[in-house]
Every structure is written in structure tokens, then in C-alpha cells.
């Protein structure tokens, strides 16, 4: 089966050459293409197209089938990549939504911590102010007591000095002697009174 097909192919390929050679031998010189030449050229063209179609049909069909498969595979890969990209986009959108929620939670907790810290600082400041006020009040009270004690001592000293001056001026020697005697009598009677009781 292969040998006749090969012979047919060879005959088809050689037919245009044979036709061209016979035309040139039969007519001699010619000024333009004759009608027979045009017919043979048309036949040659048809034979050439037939040979190309006959032998090229399988490889062309195989090429287009392979190309179709390749395009289909590329489309499948593109669809898979598109699916993966869409899944990644959905994942990123979900993460962005979660990130927004996390940022909101961080802001809320930061605000709460700042408020708690502010309250603690205010409480510490109020406690420190109360301690300072209490310490200041205690210090002022102590200073007042010291000042009062100092004034009393000074007033007592002044009263004693004044009384001594008055006594020196108004009390004479007999009055002094009588006061000393009364004082001694009182001192002597004090132990006897305590011994009785």
C-alpha cells in the first residue's frame, strides 16, 4: 500500500515538469502563453494544491489539535491561577477585615489603659496632695504650739519680772521678812499635814 502511494506522489510532483517540457518542445518559440499552457498550469496548480492538502492535512490537523490542546491547557492553567488569585484576594480581604477589627480592639484597649493610668495617676496625685496637706497642717499645728508655748514662757517671764519689779518698789524690808517667815511656816506645816493624812 505504501509503494503505490509513493509512486502517485512522485508522479504528481513530476507532472508539472513533464507538462512544461512537452509544451516547450511542441511549439517552438512563442510570444505569449498559449491556451494549452494555461490549462497545464492550472492542472499543475490543482495537483500541487491536492498534494499539499493530501500530505499536509494530517500534520496541519495534528498541529491545530496540538495547538487547541495547548490553548485549552493554558486556559485551564489561567482559570486555576485566576481561582487561586481570587482565593488570595478573598483571604486578603478577610485579613483586612480582621485587621480593622484588631486595630479597633487595640485602640479600644489602649484608650482603656490610658484612662485607667490617668485615673491611677490622679488618685496618686490626690493622695499625695492629701498627705502634703496633712503634713502641712501638722507642721503648722506644731509651730503654733511652739509659738504659744514660747509666748506663754515669755509672758510668764515678763509677769515674774514685772511682779519682782513691783515688789521691789512697793514692798519694804519688814514686809519681805514677814513674807519669808510665812513661806517658811507653810513649808514646815506641809510635811506635818501630809504625815497626818
Determine the Cα–Cα distance for residues 68 and 74; give it in Å rounded to an integer.
10
Determine the Cα–Cα distance for residues 168 and 176; give it in Å rounded to an integer.
9
Q: What is the mean pLDDT of residues 174-184?
A: 81
Please tell me whether residue 30 adopts helix, strand or coil conformation.
coil
pLDDT of residue 137: 87
Q: What is the mean pLDDT of residues 53-70?
A: 88
Of the candidates 16, 12, 20, 19, the one whose C-alpha atom is nearest the C-alpha of residue 53 is: 12
pLDDT at residue 91 greater than cutoff 70: yes
pLDDT of residue 72: 93
Of 10-24, 110-124, 129-143, 174-188, the range with the lowest mean pLDDT is 10-24
Element containing residue 171 per DSSP (H, E): none
Residue 164: is it exposed, middle or buried by C-beta count within 10 angstroms (0-12/13-18/19+)?
A: exposed
Angle value at C-alpha 21, between 11 and 26, nearest 5 degrees: 130
Give yes or no for a contact between 179 and 171, defined as CB atoms under 8 angstroms apart: yes
Centre a 10 Å sphere on the Cβ of residue 37 and count the other Cβ atoms it contains. Answer: 16
Q: pTM higher than 0.85, yes or no?
A: no
Amino acid at each position: 500500500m505504501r509503494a503505490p502511494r509513493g509512486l502517485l506522489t512522485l508522479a504528481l510532483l513530476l507532472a508539472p515538469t513533464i507538462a512544461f517540457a512537452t509544451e516547450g518542445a511542441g511549439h517552438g518559440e512563442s510570444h505569449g502563453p498559449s491556451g494549452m499552457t494555461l490549462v497545464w498550469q492550472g492542472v499543475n496548480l490543482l495537483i500541487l494544491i491536492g498534494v499539499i492538502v493530501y500530505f499536509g492535512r494530517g500534520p496541519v490537523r495534528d498541529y491545530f489539535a496540538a495547538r487547541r490542546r495547548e490553548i485549552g491547557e493554558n486556559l485551564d492553567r489561567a482559570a486555576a491561577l485566576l481561582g487561586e488569585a481570587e482565593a488570595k484576594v478573598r483571604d486578603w480581604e478577610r485579613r483586612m477585615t480582621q485587621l480593622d477589627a484588631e486595630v479597633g480592639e487595640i485602640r479600644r484597649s489602649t484608650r482603656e489603659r490610658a484612662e485607667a493610668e490617668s485615673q491611677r495617676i490622679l488618685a496618686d496625685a490626690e493622695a499625695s496632695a492629701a498627705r502634703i496637706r496633712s503634713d502641712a497642717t501638722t507642721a503648722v499645728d506644731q509651730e503654733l504650739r511652739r509659738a504659744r508655748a514660747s509666748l506663754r514662757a515669755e509672758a510668764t517671764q515678763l509677769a515674774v519680772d514685772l511682779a519682782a519689779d513691783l515688789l521691789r518698789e512697793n514692798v519694804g524690808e519688814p514686809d519681805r521678812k514677814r513674807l519669808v517667815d510665812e513661806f517658811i511656816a507653810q513649808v514646815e506645816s506641809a510635811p506635818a499635814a501630809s504625815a497626818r493624812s
